[in-house]
Amino acid sequence: MPTPESEAFLAKKPTVPPTFDGVDYNDTPRLKAAQDSIIKEQWVKSMMNRLIRQELQKCYYREGVNHLEKCGKLRERYFETLPDAKVKGYLFQQQNYVPGREDPVGQDQVSAGLDRQADGVMATVPEKVAKEKGDERL
């Protein structure tokens, strides 16, 4: 296995950032490089989350009843990395790319759990249920 400083490692290291920013969709090699870079970045995040989870499991087993006190930092780090742990692919980012925007269009609505009402106004699911029941607390 090549070391991180070796020529073989540097040759396989992606030179393209994990985004479609500045990529011409008609330039197939650059498009494929961007897609590969996005997938590799997602796999790195997924494997990092797996390593943290394994360490958390070891800590729970090792500490026993004191795991709530002793494993808190690992638990917090695991929950921070959990949303990015799934390999989602590149198609959503590729099809909904807007130049100059960090997230693809619609990503914030999908991740926030928003639901589209019949009149086209966006509202969160709990607000929609509360309106239907006549609850004014929300």
Tens of pLDDT, residues 31-56: 888 888 888 889 989 999 999 999 99
- Closest by Cα among 40, 1, 34 to 20: 34
CA 11: distance to chain centroid?
26
Q: Which of 4-13, 80-89, 112-121 reaches the highest mean pLDDT? A: 80-89
Q: Is 123 exposed, middle or buried (0-12, 13-18, 19+ CB in 10 A)?
A: middle
Q: Do 13 and 44 meet the contact criterion of CB atoms below 8 Å apart?
A: no
Residue 115 identity (one-letter amino acid): D
Phi, psi (deg, nearest 5) at residue 68: -65, -35
pTM score above 0.85: no
- Within 10 A of 61 (CB to CB), how many other CB atoms are there? 9
Find tokens 């269009």 and name the residue: 105
Mean pLDDT of 107-117: 46
Q: Is the pLDDT of residue 114 over 60?
A: no
- Closest by Cα among 42, 23, 43 to 33: 23
Q: Is the pLDDT of residue 17 over 50?
A: yes
CA dist 137 and 131 (Å) reads 10
53-102 per-position pLDDT tens digit? 999 999 999 999 998 899 999 999 999 999 988 888 888 877 777 666 66
Beta strands 122-124 and 114-116 are antiparallel
